[in-house]
A and B are shown apart, each in its own frame.
Chain A
Amino acid sequence: MDAVLRALALYLILLVLLRLTGKRSLSQVTTFDFVILLIVGEAAQQALLGEDFSLTQAALVIATLLLLDRASDYLAWRFGWFQRWTQSVPAILVEDGRPLPDVLAKFHLTEDDVVTAGREAHGVERLDQVKWAVLESSGGISVVPHGDSSSGG
């Protein structure tokens, strides 16, 4: 019983913490983000298993976490409000070639971040080559460059 309850509690704690810190938290995989992620995992491990290092305990914790994730995915697919609350929504950063400074500021993003994402995915050289940029609910920035679609740039 304790394995299931521990996994459930930690799942909820992590969900709340990660949602409160915003979709950008830990998504920009710099070395430091990666190290923080490892430390979070290390800290969670103790709380999940306690002093019990048996196979049964580990299997129960893993099964509970996977099942919760599966159930959360299902509920997000079934109910729009559940998806919005647990997984957030995408936000438009560049609208038809026009950067939206208010939105960028809200997410603590700069035009540089948009150009970086465009460079990585499409070899974009300057911001004026970006037609659309979206901060996805996963925390990544996706870029649609001009001239990529049939309308041309």
Chain B
Amino acid sequence: MSDYLEKLPGFVDTIKSIKETVITNIVLIGQTPAPTFKEKQRTSIFMERLAEFQVDECTTDGYRNPIGIIKGTSESKPPIFVVAHLDTIFDKDVDHYYSIQENTIRGAGIIDNSVGVGVLASLPEIFRRLGLRFESDIVLAGVIQSLGKGNLRGIRHLLKTWTTPIRGAVCIEGAELGRLNYYADGMIRCEIDCNISPISGFEHKFKPNAILVINEVINQIMKLRLPQKPRSRVIIGKTSGGFKHGVIAYDASLGFEIQSNSDKMVKSIFNSIKDIVEGTSHEYEVDLTLNTLSNIHAARLQFNHPLVKSAVNVMKKLDLTPVSGPSESELSIFLSRNIPSITLGITRGDNHHQPNARVEIDPIFTGIAQIIGVIMAIDNGVCDE
């Protein structure tokens, strides 16, 4: 096992020697808008690039997730999945054209997840340059409908319809280099909508303000006593509402997530919030609805799982310090199906979800070497035990 570890630092320079190709893939794919549910154009570009780099098979599954397969040398070893989500949070009319400086790339969606997808498309060429062949087939999947209301539909469908066993998986995210996610919290993602009838008349003289109603809901959620064990939290992530400064808001909405490493606790907090919504709706006499957008079960590998231990060794060999935390991404779907998997980041960046997000170029090559190290570990059998 230590054989491949020794090679990893040397890999970084070889990968860097095709820097232009890696960045070209990141840019050509990333500059194609792919808001969740509208990933068709990016899917085509991703497939085009995979085909250009001559993967053995290039296709889409029944849900239109684009997939490239590099055939392995063994007939019997199950495939290894390498996955990056294709969709971004930016609409089509946002300028997606990237600006490259001496050591940075800047633009909408570059961190989440153009770098990940561009690296995924570059892997066939990188394997060729490094002279790497694997026993397992390598399945390179750019999955659609991951974020927000997408609710990880792409990866859910891909795994649901994949009929044979999967040896292990690596999920790729643009940032941060050094992240090592091997557990997923239970999570319910919800939206609360408040709508107030705009009809005027005597009985509607003193209308409530939708923003204030949502504010009251937030206040009550904040009053909930959340346990430290099991570790639990409610993240208030999005709000919107109202028309103009001088008019009472007729509608408002709140987006939030309940996260905990206990599914039972997630459900319990959800029920408490449901009670808050029903109570507020009743007391304020307004239409207040609670919609569930996504529901993920808690799942994890233990820190001493061979895949996690190997990943830590790979990262240390490349002078990276592993930082762990929960991840609610594709990882959770793999883990919920008992497929050993981890999520890794490729580089460092800032302004993560802004149109002017920025990544550093130099760390990308270490980030890729780390991915390859983990794929080699899986191919060497760390997930087979």
Q: Do these two chains interact?
A: no
Interfacial residues, chain B to chain A (CB-CB below 8 A): none
Interfacial residues, chain A to chain B (CB-CB below 8 A): none
